[in-house]
Amino acid sequence: MITVGQEAPAFTLPASNGEMISLDSLRGKNVVLYFYPKDMTPGCTTEACDFRDYHPEFEKLDTVVLGVSPDDLKSHDKFIAKHDLPFLLLADTEHEVAEAYGVWTLKKMYGKEYMGIERTTFLIDREGKIAKVWPKVKVAEHVQEVLQYIKEHLG
């Protein structure tokens, strides 16, 4: 289980801009690392569009927003184009990073069990430590809550 104050698990993943993004390369900035189940689904679309709409405010607070899902880059490209997302999406197709962060879990839907992403947001501070964790995220008002926390604690 990831806890506040611990070093954020390092990762390097392919990003929607064609580059490999590593957490180490973002030292000195706050990072909102949000894990979501699937591109183009209703809840994930709402969450992504909320991050889009508040993106300028995150930038003012020297905060990078990164979305992570098991979808591939082709899927991410469509998602970004359809919703004009101004931040990078990372492809965790082997769910290694999701596992490292403890968000690859057993889920149930319509009586079936399967492994998938538990919608979770991690705030990583400028030193690479976990500043806050929002587990089992409910999409409504979530992005505003993250933004408010950064303003009050890391701004």
Beta strands, E only, 92-139 = 104-109, 112-117, 120-124, 130-134
As a whole number of angstroms, the distance between CA 85 and CA 96 comes to 24
| 70: CB partners within 8 A, 6+ apart | 38, 91, 92, 93, 95, 98, 116, 117
As a whole number of angstroms, the distance between CA 3 and CA 136 comes to 15
H or E element, residue 32: strand 30-35
Tens-level pLDDT at each residue, the chain (155 residues): 899 999 999 999 999 999 999 999 999 999 999 999 999 999 999 999 999 999 999 999 999 999 999 999 999 999 999 999 999 999 999 999 999 999 999 998 899 999 999 999 999 999 999 999 999 999 999 999 999 999 999 97
Catalytic residue among 8, 13, 31, 44: 44
3-state DSSP: the chain helix, strand, coil percent, rounded to 5?
30, 30, 35
Is 49 one of the catalytic residues? no
pLDDT for position 50: 98
Say what the alpha-carbon torsion angle 145, 150, 152, 155 is, to the nearest 10 degrees.
-150
As a whole number of angstroms, the distance between CA 64 and CA 76 comes to 17
As a whole number of angstroms, the distance between CA 88 and CA 103 comes to 19
